[in-house]
Structure 1
Amino acid sequence: MKNQYQNPLGSLVKLFNAPTQLVNFLSYMLFFACGLTCGIILTFHVKRISFNLQVSSSSLSPTPPPQLSIPPMPELSKANRVGLKEFLKPTNVMHDMEDEELLWRASVTPKILEFPFDRVPKVAFMFLTKNSIPLAPLWEKFFQGHQGLYSIYVHSDPSFNGTEPDESSPFYGRTIPSKEVGWGNVNMIEAERRLLANALLDFSNQRFVLLSESCIPLFNFSTIYSYLMNSTQNFVQAYDLPGPVGQGRYNRKMYPPIAIQQWRKGGQWFEMDRDLALEVVSDKKYFPVFQRQCTGSCYADEHYLPTFVSINFWERNSNRSVTWVDWSKGGPHPNKFIRTDVTEAFLEKLRSDNKCEYNGNSTSTCYLFARKFLPNALDRLLRFAPKVMHFN
C-alpha cells in the first residue's frame, strides 16, 4: 500500500525535471527581473526631475517679472492733430535727403486723383540764384495779401551765408538744400530738377515757374495766378536752330536716345504744370545722356528741357517762354537794365507790346516776367510797380 502523503521536495524535483515547465519558469523570472529593473530606473528619474523643478521654482520665486507701465493714449484734439493735409504739406523746406532720395520722393504721385480734402492749388515760385535776391522787396509787394496761393523755393550757392530775411518776409526759411552750380553746364539742370523736386513735395503746388534773382513780375499776383492756372499748355521755349550754337552743339554719342533731328535749343527759364514737372524729375533716359555727353561748348541748360519736352510732350507745350529777355544787342548774354532804363512806358511796353497764342487764341499778354534787372533799378521799380502793375 502506497503512502497517502507524498514528499513535497520530491514533487518539486519532479517539476524541474520536466523540460517544458523549467523553460516557463525561467521566462517568468526573466520577465519579473526586467520589470523590476525598469521600475527602479523610472523611479530614480522621476525623483530627479521633480527635484530640479523644485529648485528652479524656488530660485525664480523671489524675483517676480517686472510690471510694464503702459502710458494711456493721449487724446487727439484739433490743436495737435496731424491730418492728411498737414502731412502732405512740408512746413520746412530743409532736409537731409540726397538728390537720388529727393527725386524718388518727389516722383511719388497718388493713383486716386480726387483729393480727400479741400485743396487750393498754388503756384511754386522757384528762384535759382547765385547769392541773395536783391529785388526781394519788389517781390514782397507782389506776394502781399495772397498767402495760401503760392510757395517759394530758393536755390542759392551753398557757400552763400548772407543774412536771413526777416520773419515777416515770404522768403523767410524758404532756402532749400543746395549744391554748387556751374552756370551753363549740367549742374544747372541738376539745380533745376532739385528745385522742382522740393516743390513737388507739396501736393498743393500745381504750376511751377523758374526765375532768377534778376527777374521781375510784369503783372500783379492775381493776373499771373489766373493766367497760369487756366493755361492748358506748358511754357518751355524750344526751337530748331542750325549753326554752331544750335545743332553744332549736338554730340553724335547722344544717339540713339537723341537724334540730331530731335535736338532743340531754348531759354532755361520755364513754366510748367505738375504732370510735366513729375516727368522731368523722373527722367532716367535722357538726363543721363546729357550728364555724359553734353560737355564743353554744349550748354545743357539751353538744350535739355527743350529737347526732352519736344521729344515726349510736344503737344502740351507752347514752345515759348513767359519770361521776357532782350537779345537785340547780340552776344552770348541778354541785355541788362539799370536804374535809368526803368520807366512807366518801358514797363507798359513789356506787358502788352507782343502777339502770341494762349489756349488757342491770339493775345497780347505773352510775358508774365522779365529779366535782367540790376539791383540799382529797385528803387524805380518800387516807385512804378503799384501804378503800372496794379499791386495791392
Structure 2
Amino acid sequence: MAPAPAPAPAPTPPLRGPKRRHAISKRMVILFSASVSCVVVLLLSSLFIFHSPKPPISVSPLFHGTPKIAFLFLVRRNLPLDFLWDAFFQNVDVSRFSIYVHSSPGIVLDESTTRSYFFYGRQITNSIQVLWGESSMIQAERLLLAAALEDPANQRFVLLSDSCVPLYNFSYVYNYVMVSPRSFVDSFLDAKEGRYNPKMSPKIPREKWRKGSQWIMVVRKHAEVIVDDDVIFSVFKKYCKRRPPIDTSKGKLNLKLQKQHNCIPDEHYVQTLLAMHDLEGELERRTLTYTLWNQSATKMENKGWHPMTFSYSTAGPQRIKEIKGINHVYYETEYRTEWCLTNSTSVPCFLFARKFSKGAAMRLLSQEVVNDFDVSALLATPP
C-alpha cells in the first residue's frame, strides 16, 4: 500500500504584534542607512569638486605655460646694486623671470658695465633722456612696459629704481605677486591744491585725479592699458609739469612762475589713468616698495618731502625687521587704513625698499636677507 502523501505545510501566519513591527523597523534601518550613505558620498564629491585646492598662480586666461615676473629697472646710467640683484636671481629657474633696463641712450650692459651677467644686453634700445619731474619719466616707464609686453609669458610687471633692493628671496616674491589677480598700485585722493590743473578737464575730471608712488606692480591687463593710452598721456605732457625752482634774479617773473601748478607726472599718471578706466576695484591700492620719507622740511615753504638714503649703518637687522613687519598703511586724505593682503591673505606690506647705498646693500647680503653671499667678492674693483 502506497504511503500516504505528506500533508502540505501549513501557510506561515502573517506576523503580528511586536515581531511584525521589529521586521518593519529592521527594513527601515537598512533603507535609511543606504540613503545616508548615498548622501555622504554626494557630499564628499561636492566637497572635492568645490573645495579642492585652487591653482596657486593667477594668470591671463589665454596664456598657458610658466608665468614670468618682468623686472623693469628705471636707472640713470648703470646699476650700482647689480651685485645684490645677482644674488637675488642666482639658482632661480630662468623661465620664471625676465629683466628690462631703461638707461641713458647709448648705454650697453655687458661685462664692462655690470657685474652681473643677468643684465647683459637687457637694456631697451629705444630709451630716452629722462628728467625728474618731467613727462619723460612716465614715457620711460611706458617704454619698459611695452618691451616687456612683447613676451606673452610676462604676467607681472614690477617697476624698480637703481637704488631699490629686495627684502626677500625670489621664491617669496614670486609667490606673493603671482597668487593675486590684482595689481599693486599706490593710489589715493590728492587733497592738496596746486597739483591738478583745471585745464585737464574734461579729459581728466577733478574727481578722477589720484596720487601715489610711481613704484608699481601691475598685471598684464593693466600694463596693456598703460601702454595703449594716448589720451591721458598727452594731457599729462601738456598740463602736468614741475614748477621751476626759485630764481630771485628773475624778480617779478619769478613770482609769476611760482604760481604755476607744481605737478610731478610720475606721482599721478598711472593712478589717474587706472581711475579713469574704472579699474580701482582691481587694485591693491598700495605700493610694494618701502620708502622712508624725511618729513622734517614739510613746513618749509620751498622744500618738500625727500626720500632718505639707507647707509651701511642704518640698514641693520633691526631696521630691516621693522620694515618687513609693517602690515598696514594709513591714507589720511581718505581716512583709509589699507591692510596689506594678497589673495585675501594677510601679508607684510613690502617686498622691496629704497633708497639703498652700495654699503647698505652689502650689509643686506652679509645678513643673508636675499641669499647666501660672500661679501668679500665686492671688494674687487667694480666695472
User: What TM-score comes out, normalization by structure 2 length?
Assistant: 0.67
Three-state SS of the structure 2 residue aligned to 1:148 is helix
Contact 2:133 2:241 in 1 (8 A): no
Deviation at 1:285, TM superposition (A): 2.1
Task: State yes or no: 1:199 paired with 2:182.
Answer: no
Does structure 2 retain, via aligned residues, the 8 Å contact 1:122–1:204?
yes
Query: Are the structure 2 counterparts of residues 160 and 114 from structure 1 closer, same or farther at C-alpha, using a change threshold of 3 Å?
Result: closer
SS at match of 1:226: helix
Q: CA deviation at 1:381?
A: 2.0
List per-residue Cα deviations over 1:155-208 (Å, max 9, x = no partner): 111155673336x62111101121100112100000000000000011110000
1:265 equivalent to 2:231? Answer no
User: 1:189-338 to 2 correspondence within 5 Å?
Assistant: 189-244=138-193, 248-296=194-242, 297-312=262-277, 313-330=279-296, 331-338=304-311
More displaced stretch, 332-341 vs 346-355: 346-355
SS in 2 for 1:123: strand
- Counterpart CA distance in 2 for 1:309 and 1:343 is 37
Runs of 5+ in structure 2 lacking a partner? 1-59, 243-261, 297-303, 329-338, 374-383
Out of 178, 183, 189, the residue aligned to residue 132 of structure 2 is: 183
Q: Which has the larger radius of gyration?
A: 1
User: Out of 347, 358, 378, which is 2:361 matched to?
Assistant: 378
| Aligned length, in residue pairs | 273
Match of 1:76 in 2: none
Letter of the 1:375 partner, please give it. K
Task: Determine helix, strand or coil for the equivalent of 2:118.
Answer: coil
* Matching residue of 1:122: 68
Question: Which residue of 2 is the match for residue 8 of structure 1?
Answer: none
AA of the residue aligned to 1:369: F
Whole-angstrom CA distance in 2 between matches of 1:362 and 1:203: 28
Residue 122 (structure 2) pairs with residue 174 (structure 1): yes
Superposed displacement of residue 284, structure 1: 2.1
Deviation, structure 1 residue 350 = 1.3
Give the 3-state SS of the residue equivalent to 1:183 in structure 2: coil
C-alpha separation between the residues in 2 aligned to 1:374 and 1:222?
24
Show the counterpart of 2:346: 363
TM-score normalised by the chain length of structure 1: 0.66
SS at match of 1:133: coil
The whole-number CA distance in structure 2 between the counterparts of 1:119 and 1:238 is 32
Residue aligned with 1:152, SS: strand
Q: 1:333 is aligned with what amino acid?
A: H
Secondary structure of 2:267's aligned partner: helix
Cα distance 1:260–1:266, how it changes in 2: closer, same or farther (>3 A)? Answer: same
Q: What is the RMSD of the two structures over their aligned residues, measured on CA atoms?
A: 2.0
In the alignment, structure 1 segments of 5+ residues that lack a partner are: 1-111
Q: Residues 87 and 370 of structure 2 are in contact (CA less than 8 Å); yes or no, is this contact kept in structure 1?
A: no
- After superposition, residues 50-199 of structure 1 pair within 5 angstroms as 114-115=62-63, 119-146=65-92, 147-158=94-105, 160=107, 163-165=112-114, 169-177=117-125, 178-199=127-148
User: In percent, how many aligned pairs have the same letter?
Assistant: 41
Q: CA deviation at 1:290?
A: 0.8
Say if 1:144 and 1:389 are closer, same or farther in 2 by CA, change over 3 A.
closer
Asked if structure 2 preserves the Cα contact closer than 8 Å seen for 1:236 and 1:321, the reply is yes
Hey, which of these two has a bigger chunk of strand by percent? 2
**Greater per-residue helix proportion:** 1
Q: Are the aligned partners of 2:188 and 2:211 in contact in 1 as well (CA < 8 Å)?
A: yes
Aligned counterpart, 1:33:
none
Q: What is the identity, as a one-letter code, of the residue corresponding to 1:151?
A: S
Query: What CA distance in whole angstroms lies between the structure 2 residues aligned with 1:123 and 1:129?
Result: 18
